[in-house]
Amino acid sequence: MAKFSALIYIGRFEPPHNGHLATIRTALEQTEKMLVFIGSHEACRSLRNPFTSDERMEMLRISLTEVEQKKVIFIPIHDSNYNHVEWLKELKEKVLDNEPKVIERIGIIGYQKDRTSYYLDLFPEWEFLEMPLFANGLSSTEIRNKWFSGTLTDQDKIPLSVYTYLKYKENEVWAKNLKEEYRLVEEYKKEWAGTPYPPIFVAGDALVICREHILLIRRAAFPGKGLYAMAGGFLDSREPIRHCAIRELIEETGIEVNYRELDKSIREYQVFDDPHREPRGRMISHTFLFDLHAPELPKLKASDDASEAVWYPLSELKKIRELFAGDHYKIIMNMLSNS
């Protein structure tokens, strides 16, 4: 009998590479079943997460034999970013849904390569089975960058089935848009290449609610062109961060509320600093929650970096979670749940 009834493998697989497949095959030798959790579920397409969870599950599936596929269950899961308790709850509930009877024989696999592997220590009730470092620590980031730049070949360390899949996808509109965004981001990074330390950017963002609606913009330019976001932008060197959020809100949405009323309506303030939240570099968001008590929704007129400014019903926000730039949806939900 196999040592484990189920082994849990958590990853983003953006995209899957030979190291991922070697890990799965090694683990399958010691378990009756594998639960492979596919992270970044329902995230917008971006340079860090270009593929949907369905696409990543398909790439993994076509890279396995029929016998291996019968022992592997793919389970999409949302990212945590700012709410680890919610993420742990979701993951454990899905484990129980797929392995309810023999919880004592569950293990979790992985390789503790650096601080990004912290999540492996969050499950003391499951035995940890450390995997070897396959493919010399190959990173999916390398594969993505080659795909975006058009230099990926069938000699790179990915299954041939994945290479063929990526070649098939590269001419789709979303893929072309991401490749253009990659080019622009790389050019942007060159402007800071001579600095002694990597730059850290600061942004003031405005989460505005009024009459059970939230104020959203659509970005007019990359990164995240066409995606929903909160109004906000870079901090000027001579302004307080609170002023930055209000200034950007007025500039991008043309909201018909004066500065003093906006300032008085601020109810909460939080800092969001996920290191991967922005492709151009480290971007720290200082997000202000504006709670407007107006008799009707204030009029808007998009300008500056926004192609559109709209009031969107809060009750329907989950319907468009995949259309938000970066981590804006997660920030919004985190602030609203704590307010």
Catalytic residues: 308
Please report how many Cα atoms fall inside a 13 Å half-sphere around the Cα of residue 314, on the Cβ side. Answer: 13
CA distance 334 to 339: 9
Radius of gyration of the chain (CA): 22
Parallel, antiparallel or unpaired: strands 213-219 and 228-229: antiparallel
DSSP 8-class letter at 47 = S
Measured in whole angstroms, the distance separating CA 99 from the mean position of its chain's CA atoms is: 27
Closest CA to 131 of 215, 218, 20: 20
Q: How far apart are CA 150 and CA 220, in angstroms?
A: 25
Angstrom distance (rounded) from CA 149 to CA 146:
5
Phi, psi (degrees; rounded to nearest 5) at 172: -75, 155
3-class secondary structure, 306: strand
Beta bridge partners of 38: 11, 76
Residue 189 sits at φ, ψ, to 5 deg, of -65, -30
Can you say whether the dihedral through the CA atoms of 151, 155, 156, 159 is positive or negative? positive
Tell me the one-letter amino acid at 161: S
